[in-house]
Structure 1
């Protein structure tokens, strides 16, 4: 029986582990197939406080893990197959580890960026392909960039990238955009934004130094061409990693866990959520870490209330 189990080892899960371990709660942290989360696929991080020269994503995650281990957190590598949240203690079936029982559960499984699934895409992540303009835009000063997508997120990222890029081209497979009118008006009035509508991405083109362009097909004429660019930002949404919960917890229409505003509490007492799995807006390492601290403190208070009753 554990007092607290944390599922996920991104900034949220590891911060929760640090806080709980320092509180002598001896948390168990369950790592998935990608320990460290999305930051392990990120190169240099320059906007995380405390690192004036920047730090590599994998190094930051490794440091967080070592800090949690130093205070007594334990880690197991495995995939959570099923959970039973009907009553406390909660039960988790972990692939290769059997059943794990806990009084409280912190879900920090994050959200995975959706990719196009075209050649040259995933192998060039960190070499010119990105899913986060806020994270990586600074590295593309004075370059021509492409943003793929037609929703609010795509146009927000395109507008943000014009702070750094010489030109940003929005590529969308339809003639009509899904974005709200106010976002479309704002983007269309930006002189640095060009449009490549009714064009389907086919392949990310890259050389020795990284991305050089995007091959697209004109959906009207059928012709193919290569749009030159020093970077391709994929902005077609994220998928929260909540499938393993199988509807046992309240989520929004997109699968993000709903928390009580200002807390990490879910609709199930003793179950808390932190990081991108419940954040549809910011999705930054620093905000994930903050909600991880909140989840740890909420979990500790919950345990205290049980022991005092």
Structure 2
């Protein structure tokens, strides 16, 4: 077991965490990034990325994260292959985190960039065809389905928004919902029902994603009628699972304020949590946009605010020392 101390401890290594590290390292804060169980975040399981600024041609998600990590290390970030299992926020700063390895990490500021995970159906073919016709992000991948027949699975706000967005690329969008009514807000439902490119399949449950990941990808869905149990097949080339996201915030429950969905609450327009010196960035605090570029932006904000926090803290401590010396 070892002890690692830094001015900025970053938990999570997706676009938010690595961008925070790049800014912090360039400011001389010698940040430590604890990578977690999915180094690189959700982009490591994303294939084609076409909407990250600065790249004219399609790039690969894993490659982009490798480049971000290399840049962070190049400017002075220490990358730790560990997973945080316990964190003490109440007694900080400094903040203490314990890794699965048994190592102790001490940060004078703490940046939480643990991200969020898309909820999946957990049915056959879903994992095998992920990135080959199956997606959990229409904004990320909708462009690749121009002119193709697509389906969105879900019944809440996310599903309706995804379906509406996909009409920018497809003239044949079907929303599939296991119930006979949607949970989405009425204004969204009104827009959905009025849209000529969208149809709805009611009372249908997806049991399987059909197709071959090596031969063209997704070809359709196997459905079961939730009222009469009848089985059917729905042909499509794109299947978007839109049943919500789950933020990775288990470590911080009871330690930081969160919203009703479990996302870390921050001061409006900032990455500041309700505990001074603790900042949250990326998908762990953003349930609206969930894009790599917005995650990177909030990572930058977290680093800049952490740097200012440390400067203020050091100024206060210097004044206290001066007062003590004068006495």
TM-score relative to the length of structure 2: 0.93
The corresponding residue for 1:134 is 139
**In 2: Cα distance, 1:117 partner to 1:181 partner:** 29
Of 58, 61, 70 in structure 1, the residue corresponding to residue 74 of structure 2 is 70
1:267 aligns to 2:274 (yes or no): yes
Shift of the alpha carbon at 1:37? 0.5
- Which piece of structure 1 moves more, 40-49 or 15-24? 40-49
Aligned partners of 1:292, 1:54: CA distance in 2, in Å? 24
Distance 2:225 2:206 in 1: 9
Post-superposition offset of 1:166: 2.9
How do residues 135-150 of structure 1 correspond to structure 2 at under 5 angstroms? 135-150=140-155
Deviations 1:75-130 (A, max 9, x none): 11111111111112111011014221111100001110000010110221110111
Pairs aligned (count): 309
Gaps of 5+ in 1: none
Structure 1 length normalisation: TM-score? 0.98
For residues 48 and 77 of structure 2, what CA distance do their matches in structure 1 show? Answer: 27
DSSP-derived class of the 2:222 partner? strand
- What's 1:301 paired with? 308
In structure 2, list runs of 5 or more residues that go unmatched: 317-327
Tell me if 1:42 matches 2:46. Answer: yes
Structure with max Cα Rg: 2
Q: Establish whether residue 168 from structure 1 lines up as the match of residue 173 from structure 2.
A: yes
Task: Give the secondary-structure state (helix, strand or coil) at the position aligned to 2:108.
Answer: strand
Q: Quote how far apart the aligned CAs of 1:273 are.
A: 0.4
**Residue pair 1:78, 1:97 contacting (<8 A) in 2 also:** no
**RMSD over equivalenced CA pairs, Å:** 0.9
Structure 2 counterpart of 1:213: 220
- 2:237 maps to 230
In structure 2, the residue corresponding to 1:61 is in which secondary structure?
A: helix
Flag as ranges the 4+ runs of structure 1 deviating above 6 A. none
Separation (CA, whole Å) in 2 of partners of 1:46 and 1:140 = 13
